[in-house]
Chains A and B, each alone.
Chain A
Amino acid sequence: MSASAVASNEHSSHGPNVRAYMTVFGALLFLTVVTVLVSYWHLPIKMAVAVALAIATLKSALVAAVFMHLKGERIIIYGLLGMTVFFVLFLIAGPSFDVVDVGGHAVHAPVAMQAEK
């Protein structure tokens, strides 16, 4: 396959879909409003984190799939991102388990707003 053929095939395989862009735009605005409204309920922190993370993940997935054209992307990009996600999860999980024991009690306890008061 020549260089120009690769470039041409690349762009034609996932050409712009303006209707999909606008649908995702509406969904992103709606989900942002939902995120803010849910925060006004002042849910318990664990529930609030779960809801906020779920909505943020859904919004990001929409942006990545449609705006970044990951939907219908080549296998090498999926592999690259899959590897990145694996290391990200490892990166977040490792230190987090180090700080909090199984029962959820903090091992270290710096006071976040200490210097302010």
Chain B
Amino acid sequence: MSSATAVSEHTPVHHSGESTGVTNAKLGIWLFLASEIMLFSTLFTTYIVLRLGAASWPRGWDVLNVPLGMINTFVLITSSVTMVMAYAKAHEKNLKGFQTYMSLTIFLAFVFLINKGIEYSAHFRHNEFPSTSIFHAVYFTLTGLHGLHVIGGIIVNSTLLYLSKTDFDHPLFLGRVEGAGLYWHFVDIVWIFLFPALYLL
């Protein structure tokens, strides 16, 4: 093997991962998710500390809309399934199937945000803002940051849906869908903890 060939084999360092067994993109996404876990854990810790130290704390069902929260849980879980199905279709090289499931994922993300908007507007109508109380500060911070992550997911997934028209057969496309999927499932997991912590306890 000539040195020129050896160099060309190792040129695409952005997705080599020869020493780890995973692509660099996937390792990067997991490192990003690790930092995200620390971010949300910090906020959860703040919630726990404030609640443990509080003389009184409202039960979630007295101040929040549990049925709407539960519907949003179903919506986000379903969107996780459509996301993983989009990955399965990309794996099968089924463009139509990929686009259908990715569109569904984006649609469900919008449904989640609309429901959250309905909840927020009800709070605002009752003059409940982050500055209203410690409980409301915790509630708006946690759900607001999660909502921003949902918006981020919509942007990433919409970009992939758009790119699928031209780049579906690109060798890196499947890895990108997998990375976006990992992020989206993480957003789902955060809500899986947020919903009982805020609404049901």
Chain B binding surface SS class: helix
| Inter-subunit contact A67/B52 (CB<8 Å) | no
B118 within 8 A of A: no
Choose from B27, B42, B132, B188 the contact partner of A63 (Cβ within 8 Å). B188
Most buried by A among B49, B78, B84: B84
| Contact pattern, B 92-122, Cβ under 8 Å of A = 1, otherwise 0 | 1000000000000000000000000000000
| Inter-subunit contact A68/B88 (CB<8 Å) | no
B160 within 8 A of A: no
Choose from A3, A29, A49, A53 the contact partner of B74 (Cβ within 8 Å). A29
**In the complex with contacts A11-B174, A112-B58, A113-B56, A32-B51 CB distance below 8 A:** no
| Inter-subunit contact A45/B12 (CB<8 Å) | no
Q: Which of B50-93 contact A (CB under 8 A)?
A: 50-61, 66, 70, 73-74, 77-78, 80-81, 83-85, 87-88, 91-92
| Inter-subunit contact B31/A80 (CB<8 Å) | yes
Question: A68 to B73, alpha carbons, bound, how many Å?
Answer: 18
B134 within 8 A of A: yes
| Inter-subunit contact A7/B48 (CB<8 Å) | no
B17 within 8 A of A: yes
Total interface residues on A, CB under 8 Å, equals: 66
Q: Which residues of chain A have C-beta atoms less than 8 A from B74's C-beta?
A: 29, 32
Total interface residues on B, CB under 8 Å, equals: 76
**In the complex with contacts A77-B30, A112-B134, A21-B12 CB distance below 8 A:** no
A to B CB contacts below 8 Å, 27 in the list = A2-B9, A3-B10, A3-B12, A6-B17, A7-B172, A10-B26, A16-B84, A16-B92, A18-B88, A29-B74, A36-B200, A52-B200, A52-B201, A60-B192, A63-B80, A64-B185, A66-B84, A67-B83, A67-B188, A68-B181, A80-B31, A83-B34, A95-B49, A112-B134, A112-B135, A114-B133, A115-B131
Binding site for B on A (CB under 8 A): 1-4, 6-7, 9-11, 15-16, 18, 21-22, 25, 28-29, 32, 35-36, 38-39, 42, 45, 48-49, 52-53, 55-56, 59-60, 63-64, 66-69, 74-77, 80-81, 83-84, 87-88, 91-92, 95-96, 98-100, 106-116
